[in-house]
Amino acid sequence: MATAIEKVSVSDAIADALVTAGVTHVFGGHGATVVPLINAIVRHPKLTWVYMRNETNASLAAAAYAKLTGNLGVCVATSGPGATYLVTGLIDGDLDKVPMLALTGLKSTHSVGSGSFQDIRQAQLIAAGGLGWSKACMSDNSVMPMLKSAMHYAADKQAATHLAIPVDVLSSRTLPDSNVPRLKTLAERTEENERPLVVDRSPFDLSSLKLEVSHAKVEQAAELLSDPRTRTVICLGHRAAIACCGEEVLSLAETLNAPVVTLLDGKGTVDETHPLSAGVIEIFGNPGLEASRALVVSADVAILIGVDRADDVVQV
């Protein structure tokens, strides 16, 4: 006879899932709608609850934790103003492309939408702030599937996510779920990026591939870059930073005698004490350092590496 699986509280299931995902610290503030969740976090032997005086600080601390460790940065807040205070840190983490998860409490399910004390549409509000994944879960059976969905999104997109859960759901019981993703740490991702590339040199058929490479344009670019009269600037974005390609970029820069500038999310890619490192462009909607802006504006050629949006560079 099969042994029946014992149900656990939803809050305990969430705490277990966070540990499985690699989380070690959870940042947040207290409030009535998250008491069951905070109690579960505090009593879990592998989680450290970091109480913050203000939820804004909690979300910023979670973002910093994600940036420094590569782990999922988790913050917790109660309904209403507690949830709204999280927005600053969540947007910070989302724009800096780190995995984050905000867990907020809601009034009991029968009170949601009644307009009572601290009853707001916080999932919609946080989504309107810019997060691509911000939802409310209204059933105990939906908590773990939605939690895993948020974690997968955070890991795949390197983005901040938010899940709001009513307090009565947090107090209810559900089946434990062992199928929770473990996010790779920053050290693991760095090791993968620095691992030597193994190239399969065995023959393969290219006839089915539609290659759009123009050899004439490649030769034209090479000729232009090798001309000492060409003013070239190299611009780095976030994907260059996570690729750990700083040494290769500086080698190219030295070969071309080209200054290197970074977008704000590309800082740290290269050694900023290097003579060819010329600072940051595009800060707070402004062009950034005047010298960096002058280099880009006066350049004949801009080589963009790891930049998602070229208009961040060309519109300075």
Domain ranges for the chain, please list them: 8-187, 228-314
Q: What is the pLDDT along the chain (316 residues), one digit of tens a residue?
A: 455 667 789 999 999 999 999 999 999 998 989 999 999 999 999 999 999 999 999 999 999 999 888 899 999 999 988 999 999 999 999 988 899 999 999 987 777 766 677 767 898 989 988 899 999 998 888 999 999 999 999 998 889 999 999 999 999 887 777 666 666 655 566 566 555 544 444 554 545 555 566 788 888 888 888 888 889 999 998 888 878 888 999 999 999 999 999 888 788 899 989 999 988 886 544 555 677 778 888 888 888 998 876 554 544 4
Are both 8-187 and 228-314 of the same fold?
A: yes
pLDDT of residue 200: 46
Q: Say which CATH topology domain 228-314 has.
A: Rossmann fold (3.40.50)
Amino acid, res. 15: A
Please check whether residue 153 is in contact with residue 132, taking contact to mean a CB–CB distance below 8 angstroms. Answer: yes
pLDDT of residue 188: 63
- Name the DSSP class of 156: H
200 CB-near residues (< 8 Å, 6+ apart): none
CA distance 260 to 305: 10
Count other C-beta atoms under 10 Å from residue 297's C-beta: 11
CB-based burial label for 267 (10 Å; 0-12, 13-18, 19+)? middle
CA distance 255 to 306: 20
Q: Which helix (H) or strand (E) segment is 148 a member of?
A: helix 140-157
Exposure letters 216-248 (e unless 16+ CB within 10 A, then b): eeeeeeeeebeeeeeebbbbbbbbbbbbbbbee
Query: What's 8-187's CATH class?
Result: alpha beta
Please check whether residue 31 is in contact with residue 78, taking contact to mean a CB–CB distance below 8 angstroms. Answer: yes
Q: How far from 238 is each of 60, 97, 243, 244, 259, CA to CA, in Å?
A: 19, 8, 9, 10, 18
pTM for the whole structure:
0.70
Q: DSSP letters of 277-307?
A: EEEEEEETTEEESHHHHHHHHH-SEEEEES-
Please check whether residue 161 is in contact with residue 134, taking contact to mean a CB–CB distance below 8 angstroms. Answer: yes
Please check whether residue 232 is in contact with residue 255, taking contact to mean a CB–CB distance below 8 angstroms. Answer: no
Please measure the distance between the N-terminal and C-terminal CA atoms of the chain and give it in whole angstroms: 70
| 3-class secondary structure, 140 | helix
Amino acid, res. 313: V
CA distance 316 to 314: 6
Torsion angle, alpha carbons of 9, 103, 142, 112, to 10: 100
